Amino acid sequence: MTRIVLAACCAMLSMAAQAQRAKPPAPCPTRPAECQINTQVFDFGRGQMSQTAPPINGFGTLSVTCNRSLEADRDGREVKVEYLLTAVPAAPARQMRDNQLHFLRYDMFLDPARTRYWGDGYVGGTFPIQGLLVLNNKNRVGTLVHQLYGKVDGGQPGFPGQWLGLIGVSLQFTPVCTG
């Protein structure tokens, strides 16, 4: 009789273990993560512009920071966040203006060779910035820094003064619970 009881107990334990494994995971929170863009002023520095001047190059950074939600923390859920950073206007040939409404052409690039225009990926020849952050119990907050490269076209009429340009940045992100 002992054998039967032990076999029955073993069978019940394995069934309980199977039931625990088959239990569906907690549903993903409505907002498992939030993300934001961190930008700095892109500074080309000081330079002289004239009809014979070479291009002026500069570089700067953009970063994306994502935080796992408190609901995802309680459930111990890992959250993978895929994102796209796009530039508006997306097309090459951006312009800076001075206070006299003169303009200088410039562009933003994703590579130091300045061949991949930063944009939205839809306007011909432009590319978005793509990233992936994994948030879990060890990394509730994640940040990825992206290098940007700029170039003011050389050979433009030069006017002394300060020049200002504006690029809108759009962040689209998709957080997905895993595990």
Q: What average pLDDT does the segment 99-105 reach? A: 89
Residue ranges of domains in the chain, CATH in brackets: 30-178 (2.60.40.1090)
Distance between CA atoms of residues 140 and 10, nearest Å: 40
pLDDT band at 167 (very low <50, low <70, confident <90, very high): confident
Query: Looking at residue 133, what is its pLDDT?
Result: 97
Query: Looking at residue 26, what is its pLDDT?
Result: 65
Q: Has residue 129 got a pLDDT over 90?
A: yes
Strands 126-127 and 117-118: parallel
Distance between CA atoms of residues 115 and 165, nearest Å: 20
Supply 33's token pair.
Answer: 């993560």
Q: What average pLDDT does the segment 40-59 reach? A: 87
Supply 133's token pair.
Answer: 């952050």
Percent of the residues in the chain that have a pLDDT greater than 70, as a whole number:
84
Q: Has residue 44 got a pLDDT over 90?
A: no
